[in-house]
Structure 1
Amino acid sequence: MKHSRTVAFAALVALALGAAWVWRVQRPAAATPAAAPPAAGAGSNAAPSSERLSGTAATRVPEAPPRDSLRGTDVDGAIRLDANGDPIADRELRRVFDYFLERLGERSPDAIRASLVAWLAQASGLPARAQTRVLELFDAYVDAEREAVALAASGDLQNDLARRAALRRERLGAAVADAWFGADERYADFTLRRLALERDTSLDMAERLARREVLESDLDPAHAESLRESTEFQHATAQTARLDALDADAAQRHAERAAEWGEDAAQRLAQLDTQRAQWRQRLQDYAHERAAIANDASLTAAARDARIEALLASRFDEAERRRVLALAEAGLL
């Protein structure tokens, strides 16, 4: 979990720039189920073949299957119908659209839309009229986001977010725009206000905390819980750093943590202390033996590299080896 300000800023960037995929999307001229590839949700695309010249003779060589980030996954989101049998333009429908648009960069916009068409026809179970309406909403979603991304930046993030929100409501209508983007827009607005509050040097700590509490009270429950967890993590991390600097013993660590977070949390943090200490010891032992091999003048360069590689493999699993190599390359062992 990251620092709360980092999380908040990332959320802002995601809203301001997260629709950048649409920059490459161009509305397809036509797409029908007959022209669609196999079912999109299953991620199964037959590998095409191409004519390649070998000497003077043309031979048919199978091409490698295209990259597919959705292979083996199920379609995310859901399509719900109202009493009239029409699709409801809610956040779940947007998740369906975003699922297929994950393939941008791997598939052309026409192929992505055709994949949605194929999934609607083969796996959605929707009547034809509802399928047509889903495609109309998909096209409206893509077109609106393309226009939103194309808006020139003014240098004022608050103004840019307001312009983007206004454009979405103009293109999609207030109800659809709020269902699809309202939560993101409100969190982005909160983020901007929170950052401005933190930068306001005219406020003392008590006033800043009071205003922060009022600001956070308007957050929806999901974002409020996420922010609370992030803030608590930041606090716990700072507490651990202070205890490390004091070289506090296990008893002092447990007492302070139990008073702050409760007995269960204090025990879990103690387990993390143990794991961190074990990891540091393993790194130190490896670094010592690695240095001994590196300084062994009797070894050839090839033998030295082989021994270091064998030492690494014997001490760490694959994921740990990547961490150790990164530390070694940065000179941090």
Structure 2
Amino acid sequence: MKIRAVVAAAALTALLLAAFAWRRDEPPATVAAAAIPTRAAEVATRDPVASTAAQRTPQTATAAREDSLRGTAVDGTVRVDAQGRVVRDRGLRRVFDYFLTRLGERSPERIRDDFAAWLQQQPQLDAAARAEALALFDRYVELQRAAAALPRSNDLRADLQRLQELRVRELGAELARAWFGDEEAYAAQTLARLEAARDASLDAATRERRLAEIDAQLDPAQRASRDDSTAFQQAVSDSAGFDADAASAQRRAEQRRQRWGEDAAVRLAELDQQEASWQLRLRAYAQAREQLFADRGLAPAQRELRLARLLEDFSEPERRRVLALAEEGRLPR
């Protein structure tokens, strides 16, 4: 389980970096909510899911060639109660998060349409339930935008409290607890752990006892999640150390086998190869781009055309990442 979590977390992190690098100054939720309209009027008058799906069916059928979710099953469920209303549980939020994973690969509007098309395929949902689920999706995205806009401070506990208050204000206490209760409890325990670890007034024995008491409050799933996160951070740190030391593939593989096992070592080596390939392509682009800007004989229109051609070898998410790196002056030299 831990091996899979380490590799899966690395892959997801790579995806998110690629997806959002073009808007590093703006949190992903802000990007989503800025462009996904709230369609309450449609919900009241007709089935917005069917309408949206009908408008976008050709595009949805011909999904983006680079789709990070291709071949995966939708995470979570949309359930209805005895009255046919959508159950507002954690499973529903997982469905929302699943579709929002494509941010950066697809426009926020397209993601909403993908969700609408998926709702059309759920036999347990009638038109009213589909409309309700879509309205809840819009509400969730609006909340995430508001959360991203909250001011940040050096007081993590105060930041968490502001976030909790926003969720209760926007969703009500019951829905906020259903969607975010578990992770808020985990965040509070994590903060308690940080505070204990940083408390200079505690001697080593007292600190260890305090940390053990906090850990005892975690349920097995939370404890496993924390251990997996720690393992992922260690894998990232190890890889950075290998890069800094210009470690050979043999040394990397040997140390990874000792720490993570054979399967993880193989998969992490694959990630190394992917990263090396990306860096080579990025370096080639940077060199060609530099040559174009150095050519004073090119008219601006010619230069723009050739720059566009250089990007044709990259997928759409990669183009956004490349352009962001160029804008920030962080292309390799």
The interval holding the TM-score normalised by the smaller chain is: 0.5 to 0.7
Task: Tell me what 2:62 maps to.
Answer: 46
What is the rounded CA distance, in whole Å, between the counterparts of 1:171 and 1:321 in structure 2? 43
Q: Which one has the largest radius of gyration?
A: 1
- Report the equivalent of 2:310: none
CA distance in structure 2 between the aligned counterparts of 1:152 and 1:217, rounded to whole angstroms: 32
Counterparts of 2:49 and 2:225 in 1: how far apart (Å)?
42
Q: Which ranges in structure 2 are unaligned for 5 or more consecutive residues?
A: 4-8, 10-15, 17-23, 40-47, 234-254, 281-333
Map of 1:42-121 to 2, 5 A cutoff?
45-46=61-62, 65-121=64-120
Look up the equivalent residue of 1:224 and give its one-letter code.
R
Deviates more, 1:222-231 or 1:201-210: 222-231
For residues 166 and 275 of structure 2, the distance between their equivalents in structure 1, rounded to whole angstroms, comes to: 49
Which of residues 11, 15, 33 in structure 1 aligns to 2:50? 33
Aligned partners of 2:204 and 2:172: how far apart in 1? Answer: 42
What is residue 23 of structure 1 aligned with on the other side? 30
Distance (whole Å) between structure 1 residues aligned to residue 140 and residue 180 of structure 2: 11
- Give the letter aligned to residue 30 of structure 2: W
Which secondary structure does the structure 1 equivalent of 2:103 belong to? coil
Asked if 1 retains the 8 angstrom alpha-carbon contact of 2:49 and 2:120, the reply is no
Q: What's the offset of the Cα at 1:168?
A: 0.5
Q: Quick one: distance in 1 between partners of 2:212 and 2:270?
A: 41
Provide Cα deviations, 1:76-107, integer angstroms capped at 9, x if missing partner: 11112222221111111011111111111122
The question of 1:172 aligning with 2:179 is answered no
Query: Do the aligned partners of 2:29 and 2:144 also contact (CA within 8 Å) in 1?
Result: yes
Q: Say if 1:33 and 1:114, in contact at 8 Å, map to a contact too.
A: no
Q: 1:98 to 1:226 in 2, by over 3 A?
A: closer
Of all paired residues, the percent bearing the same amino acid is 43
2:169 is the alignment partner of 1:153? no
CA distance in 1, matches of 2:271, 2:156: 40
Which residue number corresponds to residue 319 of structure 1? 270
Per-residue CA deviation, residues 29-49 of structure 1 (Å, 9 max, x unaligned), is 65652343349xxx95427xx
1:116 and 1:229, CA in 2 relative to 1: closer, same or farther beyond 3 A? closer
Give the superposition deviation at 1:232. Answer: 10
Do 1:144 and 1:171's aligned partners in 2 also have CA atoms closer than 8 Å?
yes
Q: Return the alpha-carbon distance in structure 1 between the equivalents of residues 116 and 28 of structure 2.
A: 20
Once the two structures are superposed, what CA deviation does each residue of 1:171-212 show, in whole Å capped at 9, x if it has no partner? 011111111111111111111111111111221222112211
Q: Distance in 1 between matches of 2:229 and 2:141?
A: 33
- 5 Å-filtered alignment, 1:216-255, equals 216-227=215-226
Assess if the C-alpha contact under 8 Å between 1:28 and 1:109 holds in 2: no
State the aligned residue count.
Answer: 219
**Highest relative contact order (Cα 8 Å, sep 6+), 1 or 2?**
2
Structure having the higher helix fraction is: 2
The answer on whether the counterparts of 1:22 and 1:146 sit within 8 Å (CA) in structure 2 is: yes
TM-score, normalised via structure 1 length: 0.56
**Structure-2 residue corresponding to 1:186:** 185
The whole-number CA distance in structure 1 between the counterparts of 2:38 and 2:194 is 44
Amino acid at match of 2:106: R
Worse overlay, 30-39 or 65-74: 30-39
Residue 155 of structure 2 aligns with an amino acid whose one-letter code is D
CA distance in 1, matches of 2:271, 2:142: 45
State the alpha-carbon separation in 2 of the partners of residues 324 and 98 from structure 1: 26
Report if the CA contact (8 A) 2:49-2:134 is conserved.
no
Cα gap change, 1:33 to 1:66, in 2 (>3 Å): farther
For the aligned residue pairs, the C-alpha RMSD in angstroms reads: 3.9
Equivalent in the alignment of 2:198? 199
The one-letter code sitting in structure 1 at the alignment partner of 2:28 is W
Q: Secondary structure at the match of 2:27?
A: helix
